[in-house]
Structure 1
Amino acid sequence: MLFVSDIHGSITALEQALQWKEKLGAQTLVLLGDLLNHGPRNPIPEGYDPQAVAQRLNAMADQIIAVRGNCDSEVDQMLCQFPLLAEYNWLLIEGRRLCLTHGHTMGPDNLPPLAEGDGIAYGHTHLPVAEWREGRFYFNPGSVTLPKGGHRASFGHFDGTTFKVMDFAGELLASASWKRE
């Protein structure tokens, strides 16, 4: 699985992430919100073309699991041929749950009901995270378009064992095994 968050309408950033999807052989694209619009607090990103982003994602709609970000709206859904307005979704991995959310309502400071060993994957902060805390897993692929905190643009990858956050040069920024230590 390839995890991408906070595209904010940049076709340039999306294409770079999708090159990694192919390179890593990821079959599923998990989108953690803020897909098409840059939002009023953000600068207009390089390669800003929300319609092109929608068209590119529509071409792989059968491979996408998406959740709504704070910049996503019903108008965005009209352009996309896959559901993107769910506030959250769940993946079941080896009998444990991973909550998918954007992070602006439910997130690391406002967790959904998670059992020990479950986890949360979120975006919103644009900061890469892959770690276990107090028996729960936290994963944020960062932002492919507008990284924050001095980080580089990044995406996430799950190979069936390990969740990784990588930049477009392939450098590992964060990593944690899904198997608890």
Structure 2
Amino acid sequence: MEAVKQIVPGIRIPQMLSVNDYFDHPFFPAMLYYEGKSKGENKYLLENQTQIDRLHAFLQKEGRPQLKDRLKVKEFINTPSGHYTSYRVIVSSTGEILAAGLLYSSNTKTSNDLVISDLPLSELEKPSMHSLLNYLEIPDSPYFLASKRVISNVAQGGQVIVLNPDNNSCSVTPNS
């Protein structure tokens, strides 16, 4: 995290909490995510108590202990632009910053797009641990979070503003 602070002085870095710690001391807005997933998948904005109640019910009834262990929560920091944003910093094993970028979402904050799975609820009769999270994304599910789509990941259509464009850095933008 020190590398991030070198590129963007004064940046707030949210603390990560376990789901249990979050249930004990909830706050809004918060970002729920499945640790180990990439490409902007399994990220959920929590904005109200109903979402927490549904998440808690889901974990009590459907969740396996290892699933609960991999779900984490961070403070959601609302940025001043019209898009959802995040920083991406790539650092070598020696701590040298190779690239840094400001990622921004393809959708605007006013679009109110939701995280919705295209799977029907009936296909989740014997789900794997990973696919259990689809319960949170299917509107017919009793656990549907109705979470706003806030990801800025390039794989999900986001764009990048390179923050250190010099001859010794690489670009964090995808190949065109």
Q: What TM-score results when the alignment is normalised by the length of structure 2?
A: 0.26
Which structure carries more helix by proportion? Answer: 2
Greater relative contact order (Cα < 8 A, sep 6+): 2
Which structure carries more strand by proportion? Answer: 1
